[in-house]
Amino acid sequence: MLDLTLPLTKEQRLLLLAGDCVTLSGTVYTARDCAHRRIFEALDADMVPPFPLEGAFIYYAGPCPVPKGKTSGSVGPTTSARMNVFAPRLLSLGLGGMIGKGEMSEEVARALQRFGAVYFAAIGGAGALYGNAVRSSELVAYPDLLAEGVYRLEIEKFPLVVAMDAHGGNIYRK
């Protein structure tokens, strides 16, 4: 198990291989499809996105409400394939990678290789486990989207698997 702290440099991302088990600590931003559409609207209008893209990691998730005495509610991954249309452009703008559930497209795989990025798989059904790894959560954009807004999460020892690496490795393919 590799313990990694975000942000990861490109050199660190290039060392990761499909199948590596890791824990991540540091800052990630949540965004699902509605938030991605808004981010793209901002980019298309030459506006600044709601968080710096350079080296950032997007977690495809929407946090549940925070129970009393906790720092986060359940925050399980959503299906990543819905973000296939968005990921290549964000990677071209410096995104370090993504976290989600399930396989992503060949176009995303090529973009990961081209930009030296990585896609981590989170475990579906483990939202409570992931919520317990969140040290702080702050809504940073699109409050009208409720749980699907963009949240900045500070995570600690967030367990993941490298699903698709910067060399074409892919745990979903032989």
> Both tokens of residue 97?
């990678």
Residue in the block written with tokens 């409050």: 143
Whether residue 88 has a cis bond before it, omega within 30° of 0: no
Catalytic positions are 36
Residue closest to 76 by CA, chosen among 56, 102, 95: 102
Regarding beta strands 57-59 and 21-30, do their DSSP bridges make them parallel or antiparallel, or are they unpaired?
A: parallel
**Which pair of structure tokens corresponds to residue 84?**
């296939």
Report the amino acid identity of residue 60.
Answer: Y
- In this structure, what token pair is assigned to residue 126? 């483990």
- What span, in angstroms and rounded, lies between the C-alpha atoms of 145 and 138? 14
